[in-house]
A and B are shown apart, each in its own frame.
Chain A
Amino acid sequence: MENKKILVVEDDTFLRQLIAAKMEADGFDIFVAVDADATFKYLEESKPEIILLDLMLPGLDGFQILEQIKKDPKNKEIPVVILSNLSQKEDIDRAMLLGAKDFWVKAYLTLDDIVEKIDSIIGKQDKA
């Protein structure tokens, strides 16, 4: 059976390494993009089941990437979850307004927690 595709947009090398290791171990087909360019390049070729998007990124930030994804009819159905260490209400409100599925604060979650949450989202989507 084909592994579920996940796109993670994250610029921190160590976090990328950790999350990639975890996801692979848990059987996901994970692609980690470091910035907007890599993200859109990947999206042209692949359609992930979920996108985990950081906000503070070099070049275009997470909000702008989210906005573009949601504008693109091809990609707008893909659930985008913000996985960031920003946690202010205005950041959360802004992301949700732009169409984010959820807003997770990295520091408050373990990778196990994250996988659990991903499962619940993708699982829901499967049933729909």
Chain B
Amino acid sequence: MIKKEIGTLLSFIAEGLVLFDKRGHITLVNPHATLLLDYTSEELMGKHVDNVFDIYIDNERVEKNKITKTIFTEGKPFNTPQGHTIYFKSQDGRKFPVFISAKSFEASGEKSGVLVFRDITVEKELENYKINTAKRLATLTPILQRTSTGNLSIRVKVPPTEDEFTELFVGINLMMDDLEELDKTRNKSEADRIEGITRAERERRMLSEGYSRELEIKVREKIRELNQSKVHIETLIENLTSGLIEFDIDHRLVRMNKAAEELLGIRREQVLGRIIDKNDAGNKELLALMEVATPESYEEVKKVSENVTSLAGDVYEIKIRDPEEKNLQVSTIPITEHAMGGGGIIKVIRDITRESLISKSKSEFISIAAHQLRTPLSAIKWALQMLIKGGENKFSDFEKDLLAKSFDTNDRMISLVSDMLDVSRIDEGRFDYDFKKNNAADLIRSLVANSEIAAKEKNINIVFNSDKLAESFIFDVNKLSVAVQNLLENAVKYTLRNGKIIIDLKKDGDYAKIEISDTGVGIPKNQIDRTFSKFFRAENVKKIETGGSGLGLFIVKSIVDKHGGKISVESEENEGTTFSLKVPLKGNEGVK
């Protein structure tokens, strides 16, 4: 009963289980054991346990009675030795690994043995696979390590027989090929890129080297030109016949040429870099330089022109006494160009001693010439007059006429000389004026009276109308007298017999207006513009009257201008002419 219950119990065990007696005969097997050993339980019952299957330790077959001998004879359990694998080979020849344990035991006073075993084929295969896989993968490790550092020189060895790793290995190799290819491409494009950059760099360097060489040549050329022109300018300045000195903005003397040294009697080493100011006033050596530097503060100075244009600055004429007496013309030119270090001034000094002398002698010459010319003319005048007066009863009419005409001609010569003298003085700016309050009506009346005789001869009627408001004003009586007399004489001269001359003195705004109208021959339209020019004589009057200097109207205009007045003319040929003089009633304030 117990046996049967044990049998039922054993059938549930997942290991193969075999019980045998002391002789080794099998007394019990469980279904699992029969299944594993490929026997039926009937076939196994009673059989010797050592005969139903062969036992191998690893690949070595063990002796036939190994189990019973070990457990009964030797009294030891029979187990799978450490580090080895035990295989069973069943009667159909199937060999499979097992986990085995056999030992003896006593039941009901009798020795028995028990064998428990388990098919470990699956475990073994798994273990083998694990080991194999680890081994195979281990071969990849160094390759992958190298690969990770970019070294693709060694490839995975693909075993000749295909297995589950083949795909992986080939895959890795392919991947490495790709990497290598990528690497190559990258290296190549990198190389290409580097080469491109290098080439561009080289070209650029060559270009820029070429350009900078060219530039350097140009710069050198320009510097040379600049130096040359600087030398030119310096040489020019140094050798100017005019003296040239330059002051900077602080009035420091920064330049002085040779001519300036000579004119001012100083050497430039003495003064260059110095500020020339009032502190030097006591220094006799620097006196001339001081006078040139600040001409406006010296007495013997004539201001010639004032800043007419920005370029021509003030012009002074000064007289210096040291080192020798000289007349100098000093032009002061402000330096406005910023590039030239604006703010300074240049003074150009011209020695006009000789010019002044010439100008003075010219004026003296004209004065003397006039005097010398007038002396014989006076003698002729006086002599003719004596003849005319004393010969009243001695000469024939023809002779008397000749004498009268000679006298007139001589007088014309005298007034021609006077005109020339006046014009030369107008040209020199030395036609001196004396402005004061005078009576113009009185002046005109006396001039009209002087012309009466000549007018009467031609039966010309002279009418003078005067407005009290315009009679008294500021003018140079001698000069205005010359002006009005010239116009009046012209009017009488060029008005035909029985004509009429009207003189009007009237107020016209701030001006006194003197109008002299005649019924004379007039001035041709095409020549009227030139009426007041020097030596102008109208074509039509040249035929009537050969005398006349052509200077009269020029002098008239000059006189009116000097009064700050205006002169105008209106004329109609063969009808008459009107001259209008306008002179400011308050005088010309601009005239000293």
Contact A112 B389 (CB under 8 A): yes
Q: How far is the CA of A56 from the CA of B372 in the complex (A)?
A: 10
**A15, A85, A89: which contacts B382 (Cβ < 8 A)?**
A15
Is B386's CB under 8 angstroms from A86's CB?
Answer: no
Please indicate the chain A residues that have their CB under 8 angstroms from the CB of B382 in the complex.
Answer: 15, 18-19, 22, 110-111
Q: B350-374: which have CB < 8 Å to A?
A: 367-368, 370-371, 374
Binary interface profile of A, 68-91, with partner B (CB < 8 Å = 1, else 0)? 000000000000000011111110
Judge if B414 is at the interface, Cβ distance under 8 Å.
yes
> Are A111 and B385 touching (Cβ within 8 A)?
yes
Task: Name the segment of B64-72, B417-425, B560-568 touching the other chain.
Answer: B417-425
Residues of B within 8 A of A18 (CB): 379, 382-383, 386
**A116 beta carbon closer than 8 Å to chain B:** no
Number of A residues, CB within 8 Å of B: 22
Whether B189 sits at the interface, judged by CB under 8 Å, is: no
A14 cross-chain contacts in B, Cβ below 8 A: 376, 379, 383
Rounded to whole Å, the gap between the CB of A114 and the closest CB of chain B is 9
For residue B457, which residues in chain A have a CB less than 8 angstroms away from its CB? none
- For chain B, residues 403 to 418, give those with C-beta under 8 angstroms from any C-beta of chain A: 414, 417-418
Chain A nearest CB: distance from B286 CB in Å?
36
B367 touches A107 (CB 8 A): no
A12 x B379 contact (CB < 8 A):
yes
B413 to chain A, nearest CB (A): 9
Evaluate contact between A90 and B379: CB separation under 8 angstroms: no
Contacting B378 at CB < 8 Å: which of A22, A88, A106? Answer: A106
B225 at the interface (CB under 8 A from A): no
B163 is an interface residue with CB less than 8 A from chain A:
no
A21 at interface, CB cutoff 8 A: yes
B residues in contact with A110, CB < 8 Å: 381-382, 385
Contacts of B399 in A (CB 8 A): none
| Chain B 109-127 interface 0/1 with A at a Cβ cutoff of 8 Å (1 = within) | 0000000000000000000
Min CB–CB distance A14 → chain B (angstroms): 5
Alpha-carbon separation in the docked complex, A18 to B371 (Å): 18
Q: Given that A14-B379, A15-B378, A85-B371 are contacting pairs, would A107 and B385 also be in contact in the complex, using a CB cutoff of 8 Å?
A: no
Contacts of B377 in A (CB 8 A): 107
Q: Does B375 contact A (CB under 8 A)?
A: yes
Say yes or no: A90-B374 contact (C-beta < 8 A), given A12-B379, A107-B414: no
Contacts of A21 in B (CB 8 A): 386
Query: At the interface, yes or no: B434 with Cβ under 8 Å from chain A?
Result: yes
- Are A87 and B385 in contact, CB atoms less than 8 angstroms apart? no
Q: B455-491, CB under 8 A of A: which get 1 and which 0?
A: 0000000000000000000000010000000000000
- Interface hub of B375, B376, B385 (most chain A Cβ within 10 A): B375
Contact of A86 among B371, B379, B432 (CB under 8 A): B371
What separation, in Å, do the CA atoms of A14 and B384 have in the docked complex? 13
Within 8 A of A (CB), among B107-154: none
Q: Could you give, for residues 16-49 of chain A, a 1 whenever the CB lies within 8 Å of some chain B CB and a 0 otherwise?
A: 0011011000000000000000000000000000
CB nearest neighbor in B for A55: B371
Chain B residues, CB < 8 A from A90:
432
Q: Which residues of A contact B370 (CB under 8 A)?
A: 85, 87
- B368 CB, min distance to chain A CBs, angstroms: 8
Are B381 and A107 neighbours in the complex by a CB distance under 8 Å? yes
Instruction: Produce 1/0 per residue, B209-221, CB < 8 A to A.
Output: 0000000000000
- Asked if residues B432 and A107 are in contact (CB atoms below 8 Å), the reply is no
- Residues of B near A15 (CB, < 8 A) are 375, 378-379, 382
Contacts of A87 in B (CB 8 A): 370, 418, 421
What is the minimal beta-carbon distance from B543 to any residue of chain A, in angstroms? 29
Q: What is the CA–CA distance of A15 and B371 in the complex, to the nearest angstrom?
A: 14
A112 touches B378 (CB 8 A): no
Q: How far is the CA of A99 from the CA of B414 in the complex (A)?
A: 28
Please give the distance in Å from A110's CB to the nearest CB on chain B: 4
Q: For residue A89, which residues in chain B have a CB less than 8 angstroms away from its CB?
A: 432, 434, 478
- Interfacial residues of chain B within 208-246, with CB under 8 A of chain A in the complex: none
Q: How far is the CB of A25 from chain B (nearest CB, A)?
A: 9
Q: Are B385 and A86 in contact (CB under 8 A)?
A: no
Q: Which of B378, B383, B385, B478 contacts A85 (CB 8 A)?
A: B378
Residues of B within 8 A of A19 (CB): 382
Q: Which of A56, A88, A105, A112 contacts B385 (CB 8 A)?
A: A112
Complex: A74 Cα to B481 Cα, angstroms: 39
* Least CB separation from A84: chain B residue: B371
Specify which chain A residues have a CB less than 8 angstroms from the CB of B367 in the assembled complex: 86, 88
In the complex, what distance in Å separates the CA atom of A113 from the CA atom of B419?
A: 22
> CA–CA, A61 to B374, complex, Å?
18
In the complex the two chains form, what is the Cα distance from A112 to B375 in whole Å?
17
Q: Note all chain B residues with C-beta closer than 8 A to A106.
A: 374-375, 378
A107 touches which one: B386, B417, B434 (CB < 8 A)? B417
Indicate if the CB atoms of A22 and B386 lie closer than 8 Å: yes
In the bound assembly, the distance between CA atoms of A105 and B382 in angstroms comes to 13
Alpha-carbon distance A109/B417, docked complex (angstroms): 15
Instruction: Indicate with 1 or 0, residue by residue over B385-411, a CB within 8 angstroms of chain A CB atoms.
Output: 110010000000000000000000000
With A86-B367, A87-B418 as known contacts, state yes or no: A107 contacts B389, CB within 8 Å.
no
Q: List 6 A-B contacts (CB under 8 A).
A: A15-B378, A15-B382, A56-B368, A89-B434, A110-B381, A111-B386
List chain A positions with a Cβ less than 8 A from chain B.
12, 14-15, 18-19, 21-22, 56, 84-90, 105-108, 110-112
Given A85-B378, A88-B432, 18 further pairs, Cβ under 8 A: A14-B383, A15-B375, A18-B382, A22-B386, A56-B368, A56-B371, A85-B370, A85-B371, A88-B421, A88-B425, A89-B432, A89-B434, A89-B478, A106-B375, A107-B381, A107-B418, A108-B414, A111-B385
Which 10 residue pairs across A and B have the least CB separation, nearest first?
A: A85-B374, A106-B378, A107-B374, A89-B432, A110-B385, A107-B414, A85-B371, A14-B379, A107-B378, A18-B382
